Copies of this chain bind each other. A is one copy, B any other.
């Protein structure tokens, strides 16, 4: 006898966190995968990572949402080519220029809209609070407030956002991913390049630090030539 598994919309950017998050979700849920092209520098490369992972997981239900108006709105180094991507390391006390204003609300809103149509009652996102880049929309209180909004703002009030990685360090996420067999070689984290990961932007630094701390080799190649 098979039990029908609950349905979940899973946000999959293609980075290391969402890679592990989706690996977890695929184990527990009947998954629909959602990806965003928001006009970020490395959009095409990230979409390629998304497709490769969706194929790897054998998930047919997928959706790529284009919210390229972030480029019109501007204000972030990820979507505005006039602003440089910093390579100076993360200062946890301030919000970096790579912050895309209120970005995750757009992602979650799309997840919730799709979940309502699919009849899924979970939207899963691989947000990470410790080691996050200081973005306000990666904090636990943000997700608590978002779930309070969902209770009053959806048709049946039953959709809920789940954040299975929220309280994990990035090193712990790497360890969990290795345990679960997450397809890290297919993932992409670099903010800057689309061919070889730069190894120097905040996202590359956090990723490399996490693999190093976990005592594991990062299976992707870097322009700097060393992997740990």
Is A218 engaged at the interface, CB distance under 8 Å to the other chain? no
Least distance between A117 CB and chain B CB atoms (Å): 4
Stretch in A16-24, A45-53, A60-68, A188-196 touching the partner = A60-68
The A interface is mostly helix, strand or loop, or mixed, namely: helix
Per-position binary interface string of chain A over residues 46-80, scored 1 when its CB falls under 8 Å from any chain B CB and 0 otherwise: 00000000000000000101111110111100000
The residue that A116 contacts in the complex, of B66, B67, B75, B155, with Cβ under 8 A, is B75
Residue contact A69 to B65, C-beta cutoff 8 Å:
yes
Is A1 engaged at the interface, CB distance under 8 Å to the other chain? no
C-alpha spacing A161/B1, complex, angstroms: 50
Is A7 engaged at the interface, CB distance under 8 Å to the other chain? no
C-alpha spacing A103/B112, complex, angstroms: 10
Q: Using A73-B63, A145-B145, A145-B149 as known contacts, say yes or no to A155 and B95 having CB atoms under 8 A apart.
A: yes
Residue contact A69 to B72, C-beta cutoff 8 Å:
no
Please tell me how many copies of the chain the complex holds.
2
Residue contact B73 to A117, C-beta cutoff 8 Å:
yes
List 13 A–B pairs whose Cβ atoms lie within 8 Å, in order of A's numbering. A63-B72, A65-B72, A66-B69, A67-B69, A73-B117, A75-B113, A101-B112, A101-B116, A105-B109, A106-B109, A145-B149, A145-B153, A146-B153
Is A114 engaged at the interface, CB distance under 8 Å to the other chain? yes
C-alpha spacing A174/B75, complex, angstroms: 38
Interface residues of A in 113-145 (CB under 8 A from B): 113-114, 116-117, 136-137, 139, 141-142, 145
Give me the interface of A with B, judged by CB distance under 8 Å.
Answer: 63, 65-70, 72-75, 95, 99-106, 109-110, 112-114, 116-117, 136-137, 139, 141-142, 145-146, 148-149, 151-155, 157
Least distance between A104 CB and chain B CB atoms (Å): 8
B residues less than 8 Å from A102 (CB atoms): 109, 112-113, 116, 153-154
Residue contact A105 to B63, C-beta cutoff 8 Å:
no
C-alpha spacing A137/B155, complex, angstroms: 9
Shortest beta-carbon contacts, A-B, top 7: A75-B117, A101-B116, A105-B109, A145-B149, A65-B69, A101-B113, A102-B113
